[in-house]
Amino acid sequence: MKKQLILVTTAFALGFTGCIVTAPSASAKTTYLPSYIRHHTFYRLTDGSQGGYHDKTTFKGNRMSVHSKMLGKHYTWRLSGLKKHSSKVYYGRIRYDKKHSELIKIKIFNKKHFDFIPKHMWSLKGNYTGNESFGATIFKR
């Protein structure tokens, strides 16, 4: 009788504290850009309002290696917190280094062309309102 009482009390206590016993439901899966982007080399171009970049950019996973011809330097930028909004639109953060980053929208046009659009543009109203004429960084293969 005493063993049954202990068993019933333990089951009753676990019923109220089931959140301790259950497995976590959150997914730790990392979101990546499609493979036709993250395994290729693109050229970083600018919109019509900026000067001319023509930097060779190689994507591997969520890292991008930028080889700047204009400055003669090599940069490694990371994409973090990517969330897939649709098959052609992703949202995330681009990290330039430990201190500098910005929120971006990645708009994919096709396998050889996509844009990075920053969330806040200094002369445009609204979020992610840049386009290829003003505000976007263009990547083409």
Q: How many domains does the chain have?
A: 1
Whether residue 18 lies inside any domain: the answer is no
The mean of the pLDDT values for the chain is 81
Range of the domain at 37: 31-140
Contacts of 105 (CB under 8 A, 6+ apart): 89, 90, 91, 116, 117, 119, 128
Whether residue 38 lies inside any domain: the answer is yes
Task: State whether residue 92 is helix, strand or coil.
Answer: strand
Contact (Cβ atoms closer than 8 angstroms) between residue 116 and residue 104: yes
69-90: per-residue pLDDT in tens? 777 889 999 999 999 999 999 9
Whether residue 3 lies inside any domain: the answer is no
Whether residue 7 lies inside any domain: the answer is no
Residue 135 has pLDDT above 90, yes or no: no
